[in-house]
Amino acid sequence: MERDLAWEGCHNVRDLGGLPAAGGRRTRWGAVVRSDTP
């Protein structure tokens, strides 16, 4: 999966899928993203 996302009008957007979460779980791909300007 590609972590960097190319969304028109948004800069530095990334998918946080696969990162560690509470209880030893991992975040789902496509469920959580982050950006420099939400």
- Tens of pLDDT, residue by residue over 4-23, are 888 888 889 999 999 999 99
Q: Which residues form the domain of 19?
A: 1-37
Place of tokens 């969304």: 7
Rg (CA), the chain: 11
Q: Is residue 2 predicted with pLDDT exceeding 80? A: no
Is the distance from CB of 18 to CB of 27 less than 8 angstroms? yes
Which pLDDT value is given to residue 22? 95
What's the number of domains the chain is made of?
1
Which pLDDT value is given to residue 28? 95
Which pLDDT value is given to residue 36? 86
User: HEC profile for the chain?
Assistant: CCCEECCCCCCCEEECCCCECHHHCECCCCCCEECCCC
When pLDDT is averaged across residues 10-38 and rounded to a whole number, the result is 91
Which pLDDT value is given to residue 37? 75
